[in-house]
Structure 1
Amino acid sequence: MMSAMLDEPVGAAQPDAGQPRAEEPRAEEPRADQSGATPLPTGEAESDAVLARRAQMLATEHWGLLAARSTAQSEVLTRITIFLTLVSAGLVTIGILGQASRYAGWFSPAMLAILGFVALIGAMTQQRVLLVSEEDLMYVLGMNRLRGGYVDLDPQVGQYFLASSADDQAGASVTYSFLRARSQASHLLGSSMVLILVVNACVYGLLAGAFVVSLGAAPGWAIAAGALVGAAWMVVWMRIGYTHYRAAIRAHTPRRSSGSTAWAP
């Protein structure tokens, strides 16, 4: 008993049973500010969690753009198919009506009505194809920007991307063809917009020629009127498409430039 008392350090404070023990200080938890947003945590482990959350949000947005682009392409291809079917059916109907009426009497009004209906559907299809072309460029630029976000999160993944991570005009050209550089002429001539443009020019040329023939003019005048209207249709819609494309490019502000790695426009 005496030895235990001697071994105890002199001046050591004895705990008092009546007094509460002092609580150990705890790390402060992040508090929400006045706007209700909680500050992001700090530290290596918390940073990994934040990066993972950002990657998940970028991937979700990426899948959303892919789905929207696929839906738009499917919808416009369906419209193109319907329009081409109407053109074929309209021409066959005109031929049958011509044989039934011997191309006299009520044949001219019926022919003009059929061609007018097909021309109206063609103009509506042309407008939709033009809008979908602009939307497709919008989706490509958006996915390029998200791809650049992946590169910002992990710069090492950039070497595995064939599509561009730059959301500018040159980056969009790389994404459309990342194996080789395509000329603007080949891209334009192979587009659905030019296909519908040529078909509509023929339809409106036929409508103009049929109208001239119904007025009693010579076939030469009908051919000239049809060629003039078809050419005018081509020029006007090519100008409209180019104007919309340049306006979309000017309205877009890229966050990442292609630099010297992109194909030359």
Structure 2
Amino acid sequence: MEAESREAGPSAALMSAIVTEHFVLQSAAGTTVSEALGRSSLYLSALSSSLIALGFASQTPGLLLPFAAAALPTVFVLGVFTMVRLVGTGVQNVLYLSSISRIRGYYRTLDPEAARYFARWGAGEGETDDALGSLAVQGGPMAGLFTAASMIAIINGVLAGVCLALLTYYVVTDHHLPAALAVGLFAAATSLTVFFRYQHRRYLKVQQ
């Protein structure tokens, strides 16, 4: 009886559960994209508002430095929280897409013609490669360079450089521009290096 059941194909209950899971995974993947968009918009809005306020503050003598000291570090910390969460949503999205790839792989076994309609997205054989292929991304060290988190990281790295450059210029070195520029560049490079190492480790666990 069991052999006949296998030859007859999957049960209706199993197919219903698989289709439901496919729908749930698609919805969950869409939720991660929506959250990433919302968090990125919040950070960029806070940054642009702070820069506009900074421009107004610069018109009042003695107000620019205190305002910058309060606003820019706050936005930078918000950017760090945003980056960490965006990496998390990106990793989760890949996991959801990998599960969808697994289900689509099962669909390909249901009929000899099924492979034509459920073609693989990626060039690799693994489910993660297929998931990344659906995002037009290839697995490897460069996979995380073009994420939403990377976009925020670059902006936040520049912000970190500007903060420390201003601190060096106005407080530490008493208006020594070369030193301020050197400190700013070093801070930006350090911030980006730390972020990309963190993101690479997170995505590497998914690809293994």
- TM above 0.5: yes
- Deviations, residues 202-251 of structure 1 (Å, cap 9, x unaligned): 1111111122123142122211111110011111111111111112222x
Q: State the structure with more CA Rg.
A: 1
Hey, what does 2:24 align to over in structure 1?
64
Q: Using a 3 Å threshold, how does the CA distance of structure 1 residues 229 and 45 change in structure 2: closer, same or farther?
A: closer
Which one of 168, 171, 174 corresponds to residue 127 of structure 2?
A: 168
Match of 1:129 in 2: 86
Select which of 129, 149, 168 maps to 1:212. 168
In structure 2, stretches of 5+ residues that fail to align are none
Superposition deviation, residue 164 in structure 1: 4.1
Change in CA separation of 1:54 and 1:44 when aligned onto 2, cut-off 3 Å: same
CA shift at 1:45, angstroms? 7.8
Q: What do the CA deviations read for 1:35-85 (whole angstroms, capped 9, x no partner)?
A: xxxxxx658589758533222111100100101111111011011011111
Contact 1:145 1:167 in 2 (8 A): no
**Structure 1: which amino acid aligns with 2:27?**
A
1:236 is aligned to 2:182:
no
- Measured after TM superposition, the shift of residue 189 of structure 1 is 4.5
Give me the CA root mean square deviation. Answer: 2.6
Residue 119 of structure 2 aligns to a residue in which SS? Answer: coil
Aligned residues: 204
TM-score, scaled relative to structure 1? 0.69
In structure 2, the residue matched to 1:245 is 203
Which one is further off, 80-89 or 207-216?
A: 207-216
Identity of paired residues, percent?
A: 23
- Partner of residue 109, structure 2: 152
Deviations 1:112-157 (A, max 9, x none): 1100111011001110111111111101111011111222333431
The residue type equivalent to 1:168 in the other structure is E
Higher helix share: 2
- CA deviations 1:10-53 (Å, max 9, x no partner) are xxxxxxxxxxxxxxxxxxxxxxxxxxxxxxx6585897585332
- Aligned-pair distance for 1:108? 1.5
